[in-house]
């Protein structure tokens, strides 16, 4: 069983909780306005000739507020649902990653920036991988021009995955003082993949081939190199102090300017 650090889907769960709080605030605010209008209406009961106009005015205001209020709640509901589905997808991929042998290490939810986290970072004898999980359905393919399509519509999921992998690479270089080769992986457990892997330096894998591909990858890292990456990732996650000396001792390559740091070959059998 792989060694795990952190819990999967924590960021998505936190975002879903924040959206729920916003929904409650909107509901309480709407009810407050409603009760204030009712109170205003009741003040006019002392004057019968003003009751009907006041009642009509109250109904018009409530009607005017109701539609934008419902649209806002629907938008928040969809956002919260997407985060909850994302949490389920990350939990599932983490479950599959647990089948890797104990020479592998899985880091869940490393947060590099305030607006996103790294779903899974995996390191073992077969290399270093950033895995972005998307709980989507349908088909991922390409058109005749090589444009990636999700259910026949253009998608930037692979571009985002690659950018996040490069962000991780930059952080690793800053921490370790050595080069870092990262395999960018888009993991969609329920998707049907109809494209040649890797596509533009990103692998698109599903639950049926994720573990087989990782376990079957060519051995690229020694035990010492794996340990150096683990220490670096611990530091990035906030639990280690210094890893530069360990990285050099492990024999990780020095930084080479202007080189491509995303390796699309290491997963090949």
**pLDDT for the residue 44:** 58
Q: Find out whether 130 and 33 touch, Cβ atoms under 8 Å.
A: no
**pLDDT for the residue 264:** 45
**pLDDT for the residue 229:** 92
Q: Find out whether 148 and 195 touch, Cβ atoms under 8 Å.
A: yes
Averaged pLDDT, groups of 10, the chain, 269 residues long: 80 78 79 69 59 65 74 81 78 89 92 79 94 91 90 93 92 87 91 88 88 85 92 79 58 54 46
**pLDDT for the residue 107:** 94
Q: Which CATH number fits domain 100-249: 3.40.1350, 3.30.460, 3.40.50, 3.30.70?
A: 3.40.1350
CA atoms within 13 A on the CB side of 2: 26
**pLDDT for the residue 117:** 84
**pLDDT for the residue 127:** 92
**pLDDT for the residue 212:** 86
Give the Cα separation of 123 and 100 in Å (integer). Answer: 11
Give the Cα separation of 179 and 173 in Å (integer). Answer: 6
Indicate left, alpha or beta for 151 from its phi (over 0: left) and psi (-120 to 50: alpha). Answer: left
Dig out the tokens for 120 from the structure.
């899974």
Q: Give the closest residue to 123 by CA, choosing from 223, 197, 209.
A: 223
Q: Give the closest residue to 221 by CA, choosing from 137, 138, 123.
A: 123
In total, the chain counts a number of residues equal to: 269
* Number of neighbours of residue 24 by Cβ within 10 angstroms: 10
């Amino acid at each position: 069983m792989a060694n795990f650090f952190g819990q999967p889907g924590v960021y998505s769960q936190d975002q879903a909780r924040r959206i729920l709080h916003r929904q409650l605030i909107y509901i309480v605010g709407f009810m407050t306005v409603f009760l204030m209008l009712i109170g205003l209406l009741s003040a006019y009961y002392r004057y019968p000739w003003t009751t009907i106009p006041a009642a009509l005015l109250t109904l018009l205001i409530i009607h005017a507020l109701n539609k934008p209020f419902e649209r806002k709640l629907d938008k928040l509901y969809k956002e919260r649902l997407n985060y909850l589905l994302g949490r389920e997808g990350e939990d599932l991929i983490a479950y599959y990653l647990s089948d890797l042998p104990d020479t592998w290490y899985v880091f869940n939810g490393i947060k590099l920036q305030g607006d996103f986290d790294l779903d899974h970072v995996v390191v073992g004898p077969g290399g270093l991988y950033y895995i972005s999980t998307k709980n989507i359905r349908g088909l991922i393919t390409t058109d005749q021009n090589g444009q990636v399509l999700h259910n026949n519509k253009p998608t930037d999921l692979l571009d985002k995955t690659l950018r996040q992998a490069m962000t991780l690479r930059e952080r690793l270089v800053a921490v370790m003082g050595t080069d870092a080769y990262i395999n960018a992986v888009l993991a969609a457990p329920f998707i049907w993949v109809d494209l040649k892997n890797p596509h533009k330096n990103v692998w698109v894998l599903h639950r049926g081939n994720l573990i087989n591909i990782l376990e079957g990858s060519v051995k690229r890292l020694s035990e010492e190199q794996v340990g150096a990456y683990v220490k670096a990732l611990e530091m990035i996650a906030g639990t280690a102090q210094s890893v530069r000396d360990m990285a050099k001792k492990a024999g990780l390559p020095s930084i080479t300017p202007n080189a491509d740091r995303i390796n699309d070959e290491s997963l090949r059998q």
